[in-house]
Amino acid sequence: MSVAVQSERGLVDVRSQRWAPALATLCGLLLVAAAAEIVLDGAAGASPLIPKSPEIAGWLQGIGERLGYRVFLIALFVSSGAYAGLVALARRASIDRLRAGAISKRWAIVLIAALHVIVFAGPILLSTDVFSYIAYARMGVEHGLNPYLHGPLAIAGDPVSAYVGHDWERVATAYGPLYTLLSYPLAPLGVVGALWGMKLEALLASAGTLALVWRCARVRGFDPVAAILVVGANPLYVIYGLGGAHNDLIMMLAMMAAVSLTVAATPSARREAGAAAWVVAGALIKATVAVLLPFMIVSKRRLAPILGTLAAVALGALVGYAAFGIHGIDVVAALNRDAAFVSTDSFATEIAHLFGKPGVFPIDHDLLKAGLVLILVHLLWRTWRGYDWVAASGWALLAISVTSTWLLAWYILWPLPLAVVTRDRRLLAATLAVQALFVVHQITPLLAPVQ
Amino acid sequence: MTGSSAGEATLAAGEERWQRLPPWLRPRTVELKGGGNLRLIETTLLVLVGVVLATATVNDVGREVGINRRLIADLKTWRQYTGHDYHNISIDQEALGAGSDREVLCGNTSPGPPKGRTQICLAIWGAVVSGRRTVHGGWYLPPGIEDVTARRYGCFGPAGRGRCPG
């Protein structure tokens, strides 16, 4: 390398060192401003993007205007752009070790905390799911009904039933018995109290997940600041995941607790059994995370994770059966039922349209399942031959969301915490690319608004 | 690298039981170096999948924009045909055939809450010309009623033929 090229590169580095903090600040401010815009406008009242809800953010009314698709999408695109900039800066900072000047630990934590507080203070965003959670809890606690046998329509007179999404009124819960039991203490608080309880659960789960991401990144030799920024400032994570108080955040907390136990410098049988038990606990919240187990077991090739799995499954099945009967532990039936759903945002639907078909047919479900099985077998083989089981689990979760005919924004968050603590950078790139395509797919109302 | 010595070197303690397997089948605690070909194949497949997903997404956005433009023309047609500049107009994209470009738009015939007055439904299809499409007929519905054949009356035009009871 010539002296001229070296000095030119040095000059560029000095310039980027100078500009990096300013750019990072700008990206952070844009993220905060976009989140605040969505929350304040969402609090203003009736909007197609805010589910019908008891008034929990009335104190924010009068600042924003009714949230329409146009403003929401502009805010989503602005925050996505700012996030991309921030991720690039964080990655560069961690590679060049410029972080002290560009993105400090304190700055990153303050930014993520600000985003979380803004969304926590506002109304429920973009999904009625949280009202289904509350309805299932109230069915069990207030009405003595089994939420694994009845849909929320069974408590039509209950105050929460007015807020449950129309499509879910007749659908019994698909969530695990551990999640249902966790939600039961919130039922007697009334709809508003339970809503705040659910929001608090999601907030704490997110904080816990980010703390574990930090720990795993540090132990595995990655920059923890970049890792928590990639997860905690992600617009889909903040606006869709936290904004909707989705229980996926609690599932992700259990997932990261499991990973955290296995990345310890000195592996022990107890930790590995505990990690497997955490995965089972996560699956008893939302079944998807169970996909981590085979990778963990194949990677460790010891008895401890198998014993941990069996003990946790036995305990979970016992508690689930005692609380809800056989339907409470029939995870397969719930998964089969949900696998038949089709959403317009799923890649399966988009590909069907690409080939001139009106939608997804039963044969497509079978093809997608076969494709998913092939991917999982390949990943298991790779793990058997020494590939990082955490990365393999991340790929498996990404494959599940991409091949699902029922794709929602918070499903493509699942692999994100795993992607930032693995050495295979393709996983993070693929996860963010899938998220970017999801965001692009939302653009239609901006290009051709129907009024 | 396919030699068994490298494979043995990476086996963890207590894993001697796997030694009975052929080298290519034995588990490893870390991946062999030189797996570049497999990584290349995986990356190529990932890029191909990415291209398909990106193409499908862009195609779907184009398709949805086309549908929305058609619906915008339908709403303009309904408003011009009835002379009412109402905003609460329901659009049924499946009544005249799912996946077709034929729509039924229903709205009040006089000011009132959504579906709160006698409704007029128009069957609309054809090319968009000057921001509008052609009305091929329609029918009326009593207040507060969804568009079901049994409750239709006053069917008119070719599209309304045979769509009212009796």
Q: What is the pLDDT of residue B32?
A: 77
Q: Do A347 and B53 touch (CB under 8 A)?
A: yes
B31–chain A Cβ distance below 8 A for any pair: yes
B54 touches chain A (CB under 8 A): yes
Residue among A176, A199, A58 nearest A116 (CA): A199
Neighbouring-strand partners of residue B122: B105, B138
Please tell me if residue B37 touches chain A, with a CB cutoff of 8 Å.
Answer: no
Cβ density class A304-334: b for 16+ within 10 Å, e for less: bbbebbeebbeebbebbeebbeebbbebeeb
* Distance (Å, whole) CA A362 – CA A137: 33
Q: What is the DSSP string of A341-357?
A: ---TTSHHHHHHHHTT-
The CA distances from residue B144 to A156, A197, B150, B151, B164, in Å, are 21, 38, 14, 11, 18
Rounded to 10 deg, the angle between the A3-43 and A69-96 helix axes is: 150
Distance, CA of A77 to CA of A84 (rounded, Å):
10
**In which residue are the tokens 């291209």 written?**
B51
Considering only CB atoms, A354 lies closest to which of B10, B12, B59, namely: B59
Residue with tokens 């990584």: B39
Q: What's chain A's average pLDDT?
A: 90
Two structure tokens written together for A232: 């905690």
| Band of residue B2 on the pLDDT scale cut at 50, 70, 90 | very low
> Do B27 and A449 lie within an 8 Å CB cutoff?
no
Say if B10 is an interface residue toward chain A (CB within 8 Å): yes
CA distance B127 to chain A (A): 17
Angle at A242 between CA A237 and CA A244, to 5 degrees: 115
B42 contacts on A by Cβ (under 8 Å): 426
CB contact under 8 A, A451 and B99: no
Would you state the pLDDT for residue B1?
36
pLDDT tens digits, one per residue of B46-76: 999 999 999 999 999 999 998 899 999 999 9
**C-alpha dihedral (A224, A229, A234, A240), degrees to nearest 10:** 80
| Stated pTM of the model | 0.87
Residue B129, strand partner residues: B132
B97: Cβ contacts below 8 Å, ≥ 6 apart: none
How close does chain A come to B164, measured CA to CA in Å?
Answer: 29
pLDDT at res. A102: 63
What is the average pLDDT across B134-159? Answer: 91
> pLDDT value at position B8?
42
pLDDT of residue B9: 45
Q: Which of A347, A384, A387 sits opposite B56 (nearest CB)?
A: A347
Task: Give yes or no for B71 touching A (CB within 8 A).
Answer: yes
Structure tokens, B102: 């034929």
What pLDDT shows up at residue B37? 86
Interface test with B, best of A385, A422, A432, A446 (most B CBs within 10 A): A385
Nearest to A437 among B27, B57, B64 (CB): B57
Alpha carbons within 13 angstroms on the beta-carbon side of residue A134 total 30
A351, A447, A450 member nearest B52 (Cβ): A351
HSE on the CB side for A133, CA within 13 Å?
31
The confidence score (pLDDT) of residue A166 equals: 86
Kindly state whether A444 is in contact with chain B, defined as any CB-CB distance less than 8 angstroms.
yes
Which residue in B has a C-alpha nearest to residue A449's C-alpha?
B68
Half-sphere exposure of A437 (CA within 13 A, CB side): 27
Digit-coded pLDDT (tens) for B9-40: 445 556 678 888 888 888 888 887 766 788 89
Q: What does B18-69 look like in DSSP terms, one character per residue?
A: GGGS-GGGS--SSPPTT-HHHHHHHHHHHHHHHHHHHHHHHHHHHHHHHHHH
Interface-testing mutation among B44, B61, B93, B101, with chain A (most A C-beta atoms within 10 A)? B61
Which residues, listed in sequence order, are joined to residue A50 by a DSSP beta bridge?
A47
Q: Do B61 and A351 touch (CB under 8 A)?
A: no
Single-letter amino acid code for the residue at B43: T
Provide the residue-wise pLDDT of chain A in tens; the chain has 451 residues.
454 555 555 555 555 667 888 889 999 999 999 999 999 999 887 888 889 889 888 888 888 788 889 999 999 999 999 999 999 988 877 666 544 456 888 999 999 999 999 999 999 999 999 999 999 999 999 999 999 998 999 999 899 999 998 888 888 998 999 999 999 999 999 999 999 999 999 999 999 999 999 999 999 999 999 999 999 999 999 999 999 999 999 999 999 999 999 987 777 889 999 999 999 999 999 999 999 999 999 998 888 999 999 999 999 999 999 999 888 888 777 777 777 788 888 999 999 999 988 888 889 889 999 999 999 999 999 999 989 999 999 999 999 999 999 889 999 999 999 999 999 999 999 999 999 999 999 998 888 888 7
CB proximity list for A5: less than 8 A, separation 6 or greater: none
- Element housing B108 (H / E): strand B103-108
Separation in Å, CA of B166 to nearest CA in chain A: 33
Order of strands across the sheet that contains B132-141: B90-92, B103-108, B119-129, B132-141, B153-156
Beta strands in A153-306 (DSSP E): none
**Contact between residue A78 and residue A70 where contact means Cβ atoms under 8 Å apart:** no
Residue with tokens 């990973």: A259
